[in-house]
Structure 1
Amino acid sequence: MSLTGFDSEAVGFDSISQDSGTNRSSSSQTTEFSESGAGSQTNASNDMGSIVYPEDLNAEEDVLKEYPPPGLNEFLRRVVPAMMDQLDQNYKESQLLNDSSDSDEEEVLSATLLQEIKLKDGSGDHQSSVLGVTWSSAGNSLAVSLGSSQHDAWCQSAGLVKVYTLKRSEDRFVHAMDLAEKNCVSALKYHPTVAALLAYGTTSGEVVVCNLSGGCADAGATLASPAGCHGCRRVSALRWADAPLANTLLAMQISARGKRRGAADQVLLSSGSDGSLHAWRVEAGVRVFESIASYSVGSAQGLAPDITCFDFVRSSPLLPASDKAPHDVFVVGSMAGKLFLCKLAAASSDTADPAYEVLDGHATCVLSVEFCAQWPGVFASLSMDAELRIYDVAQGAPLKVTHMDSAVSCLSWVSGGVLLLGLARGAALLRVWDACGGCVLPVGGLDGKAGVNCIAVYQSGSCRVAAGDDSGIVRVWELPVRRIKLTTHDLDLNEFVKQSSRHK
């Protein structure tokens, strides 16, 4: 019997369940997910492609039906080894970045010791210490000064500066030249942009600038300050002026003395233990090394502090003008623990006092002061009693005060909120410090028993640290700064200043 006149059409009927059991109902289940204390995972990726030649696309149909296609095996032999190597490399990097995705333990980073340079002086009866170390602007040269770290009265030891250059074929520094001095070299600094300019100061108050492009044997490569500079007392610190500060000082010289400036003029600043600060105009190409101005810190208050260190505000061209600090502001640390906030514009003439405020300083000798490049106007100071302070030039009181549990000798900023501290003694040579949190950051590979006297940081892609100790050894590390995890609070200067002011 035909049910419809269109047998070729599909006919549908409503389904009637014959199941006499209990009715079942289905419903969706909602699962809530939560996350607590999970870190981000970083995966490195590389794009790879294959090359197909036009003649491969014009192959005959019978050839395309072949398996494997012609040339496939050869292609795989070329590509597969590189792909496997890249996969292995990605796996190793992921293992370094994340020890385990299921582990709740904090990741411990490790610095890589690249080289250990043992220095031998050979002069004098006592073993020489490393008094200073500095990187060239390209990071391919290290200059190290050797001498006696303590003097009872006048320095009677000969000084020595050793220059090491990077041998790229072996990725290690090799000895290049020596610069001899009559007295110990107490401070030295490479120019931040001109790789051949090296300045150093001696314990007898002499400031010397060397043009290393011609080699140490070139008699015209050395420029020295006049006799009696810094009262014939120890040069405590050196600093090459950046472009805004150099322009300010050179403009002062032009207006005061009618001097014409050259296109290659540089400005060097030096401080002495007699309380003086000198600004020098340097033009190594035409042998110009002359004084622009000299200042007497604290003279307006009847003080003549033994200056131990100083530093100027770092220029930050990427920041808006409202967030920048004046480029001619600097801080001076003294042997008595006082911190002088200074401004060159406040000094109306030579030998004037540039200090406009005395900060709430330390109880003992200030070992090191340094401004942070990422936080304009913020600087850190370190004293002999292992006290670390963080200041803002807009406030007289410190933002944060921390007492270390180990003897310290020097400091340097490595990034916003992260400090590198040199230890005078202890189970480690260096310590990575969270300036906002006031705690040690877990970075291994910095162990050692010698006392560090000086450190220098070079950052260009990677972060390399050179540290000299009292046994005459310079160690070079690569520091994993980019993998150091900081909280949003640590990176926010305004929040840090606000919280610090609230706790006072």
Structure 2
Amino acid sequence: MFQDNESDLSVFWDSNWKTSTVKNYASTQTSEILTNEAETQSHHLQDFACQCAIQKEAAVVHVDEKEVPGLCEFLQRVEPKITACLKENLTSHAFDGYEVLWEDQCDSAHCIYTLTDPGTDGLQCTDVSWSSSGAMLVASYGRHDHENWCTHKGLVCMWNLSSGKLTADKADSAVDVDNCVMCVACYPSEAGVIAGGTFSGEVKVWHFAGNSKWVVVSSSAEVNAHKEPVTSIRWLSSSQPVADNNQLVSLASDGCVILWKIDLQAKKVEIVRQFTLHVPGKRVLTDITGSYGGTCLTFPYQDNNTFVAGCETGSLFKCSLHVSGEKTLTQSPVTFSFQPHNGPVYDVQCSPYHRNLFLSCGTNSTCQLYSLIESQPLLSLTPSYGYLFSASWSPSRPCVFAVGSQQGYVLVYDLAENMVNPVIKLASDNKKLAAVYCVKFNRSRPHILASGDEHGIVRVWHVSSKLALQQTNELEVVNTIAEP
């Protein structure tokens, strides 16, 4: 039936189920968009001028040619030249970046006050602090060389440097304490309120109420307060006047960090939160076994949540007052660890010009610059003057800071000029230099620096204008150092 056929005939079968496809074409478009144009304008404006009073004729200077011969001729001759110079100055950039110095230049640093008090005999100056106005200097007195229980009487002295009645060998006001005062801090926005920490672990707040009356608030009634010497105390930054909800943070050598609420009206303190310094994840017993003994703490500029703590072991921790987790006495505030010092850390200070930069110093005779986001130090300085006990940033120069040394020198660094050696060394005139335990720049008067030593002597220094006045592009130097 099926075979090859060479015939040209073709056979087709039409489908009995498939029909032809019918196609239709159509088109459409949207309706025409109608637009209208219109113009309008605001109310008609009219300029006018007025003055409060008719200008008095006396305001015009009349020159009597007979009294000053040749003056009018001179003014007419030089006026076109002066006018031309003034017009040229309007477009000149010759004085861009120039800052007028309203104070007299001072090229050297020198001691302007040497302050003592009869009640400080046998005591060491453990800390200094400036009032919010910069006029009052507060110093705490105790001893760092305890071998057993403290049997000394502590003292807090105050000198008003602006009173005009300053007595160098007697404090303007003094408060006796039943044991050594290890640290002190003035309220950041109001004079007359001072916080201090004692060797027995007490946190005290003195409020000057007038008529030479001091109101004392103490933490002695708190069961869970510090059991070891308070090594550092800081008010949480505030621009508000003293109120009933002031807060401060204290750190002690028992490794305990406490956030306090101060009620000056009720004369009481209350624990808000409490932490123990230790590395998270490690077991810590209720007797704080395994914790780190705290020596110092500092808060970054305008940050009341994050702080840096230094320890007796040389450890440096970045901490937070609002860590998550169960609130217990052994809760750790540590969120980050930095490369430690080879020995106890005595002081840490955050830069007032860079949010991540902070300074540390300790018994390894090294001053180190860190960033809050880097574990390794950015810069290490070894001045070779023994232990470094204290540090303070200049409030006006981002590159300037001072450190107190064991050999009795206050070393002032200027990183914009020298990143290795201090630019000046401040020392007393005594043949036997005393270890400088504390240094502090005056925030309101940046050319003023205070220091306290192991002989109980407080010195007020006036640094050179070069170290007090900010230089051009100085912030760029700091940002370059702090870059990760």
TM-score, normalised relative to structure 2: 0.70
Q: Does 1:353 find its partner at 2:353?
A: no
Name the SS for the 1:121 alignment partner: helix
Matched letter for residue 447 of structure 2: C
Q: Residue 291 of structure 2 corresponds to which residue in structure 1?
A: 304
The structure with the largest alpha-carbon Rg is: 2
Q: Does 1:148 find its partner at 2:143?
A: yes
State whether residues 412 and 421 of structure 1, in contact with CA within 8 Å, keep that contact through their aligned partners in structure 2. yes
Write the deviation string for residues 154-177 of structure 1: whole angstroms up to 9, x where unpaired.
212111112222353357766222
Q: 1-side partners of 2:410 and 2:425: how far apart?
A: 10
Q: 2-side partners of 1:233 and 1:57: how far apart?
A: 76
Residue 112 of structure 1, CA deviation: 3.2
Instruction: Give matches, 1:342-421, under 5 Å.
Output: 342-348=319-325, 349-351=327-329, 352-407=331-386, 408-414=388-394, 415-421=397-403
* Equivalent in 421, 424, 429 of residue 440 of structure 1: 421
Q: 1-side partners of 2:366 and 2:467: how far apart?
A: 27
Q: Does 1:424 find its partner at 2:406?
A: yes
Q: 2-side partners of 1:294 and 1:56: how far apart?
A: 73
Q: Residue 29 of structure 1 corresponds to which residue in structure 2?
A: none
Q: Residue 66 of structure 2 corresponds to which residue in structure 1?
A: 65
Residue 381 of structure 1, CA deviation: 0.7
* Equivalent in 170, 178, 184 of residue 180 of structure 2: 184
Residue 294 of structure 1, CA deviation: 0.8
Q: Residue 469 of structure 1 corresponds to which residue in structure 2?
A: 453
* Equivalent in 244, 260, 265 of residue 280 of structure 1: 260
Change beyond 3 A, Cα 1:228–1:386: farther
Residue 214 of structure 1, CA deviation: 3.1
State whether residues 214 and 221 of structure 1, in contact with CA within 8 Å, keep that contact through their aligned partners in structure 2. no
Change beyond 3 A, Cα 1:216–1:179: farther
Query: Structure 1 vs Structure 2: percent identity of aligned residues?
Result: 23
Change beyond 3 A, Cα 1:216–1:337: farther
Change beyond 3 A, Cα 1:213–1:112: farther
Change beyond 3 A, Cα 1:295–1:435: farther
Q: What is the RMSD of the two structures over their aligned residues, measured on CA atoms?
A: 3.2
Write the deviation string for residues 245-291 of structure 1: whole angstroms up to 9, x where unpaired.
x9xxxxxxxxxxxxxxx954211110111110011111313434211
* Equivalent in 462, 476, 479 of residue 463 of structure 2: 479
Residue 450 of structure 1, CA deviation: 2.3
Q: Does 1:237 find its partner at 2:232?
A: yes
Matched letter for residue 66 of structure 2: K
Number of aligned residue pairs? 380
Matched letter for residue 119 of structure 2: D
Name the SS for the 2:411 alignment partner: strand
Change beyond 3 A, Cα 1:462–1:404: closer
Matched letter for residue 424 of structure 2: V
Change beyond 3 A, Cα 1:229–1:490: same
Residue 148 of structure 1, CA deviation: 2.0
* Equivalent in 146, 154, 163 of residue 158 of structure 2: 163
Write the deviation string for residues 317-339 of structure 1: whole angstroms up to 9, x where unpaired.
xxxxxxxxx64111110001011
Matched letter for residue 117 of structure 1: L
Write the deviation string for residues 109-131 of structure 1: whole angstroms up to 9, x where unpaired.
411322111233366xxx22111
Q: Which runs of 5+ in 1 are unaligned?
A: 1-51, 70-92, 98-107, 247-261, 316-325
Q: Residue 495 of structure 1 corresponds to which residue in structure 2?
A: 480
State whether residues 431 and 440 of structure 1, in contact with CA within 8 Å, keep that contact through their aligned partners in structure 2. no
Q: Residue 338 of structure 1 corresponds to which residue in structure 2?
A: 315
* Equivalent in 123, 126, 134 of residue 131 of structure 1: 126
Change beyond 3 A, Cα 1:398–1:483: closer
Q: Does 1:202 find its partner at 2:202?
A: no
Residue 447 of structure 1, CA deviation: 4.9
State whether residues 144 and 162 of structure 1, in contact with CA within 8 Å, keep that contact through their aligned partners in structure 2. yes
Change beyond 3 A, Cα 1:296–1:404: same
TM-score, normalised relative to structure 1: 0.68
Name the SS for the 1:139 alignment partner: coil
Report which of the two has the higher share of helix: 1
Change beyond 3 A, Cα 1:284–1:482: farther
Name the SS for the 2:481 alignment partner: helix
Change beyond 3 A, Cα 1:424–1:58: closer
Q: Residue 44 of structure 1 corresponds to which residue in structure 2?
A: none
Change beyond 3 A, Cα 1:347–1:152: farther
Q: Which runs of 5+ in 2 are unaligned?
A: 1-55, 71-100, 284-289
Q: Residue 117 of structure 1 corresponds to which residue in structure 2?
A: 115
Write the deviation string for residues 441-479 of structure 1: whole angstroms up to 9, x where unpaired.
433664552221111221225431111111121111122
Change beyond 3 A, Cα 1:306–1:66: closer
Q: 1-side partners of 2:62 and 2:296: how far apart?
A: 75
State whether residues 390 and 399 of structure 1, in contact with CA within 8 Å, keep that contact through their aligned partners in structure 2. yes
Q: Residue 45 of structure 1 corresponds to which residue in structure 2?
A: none
Matched letter for residue 204 of structure 2: V
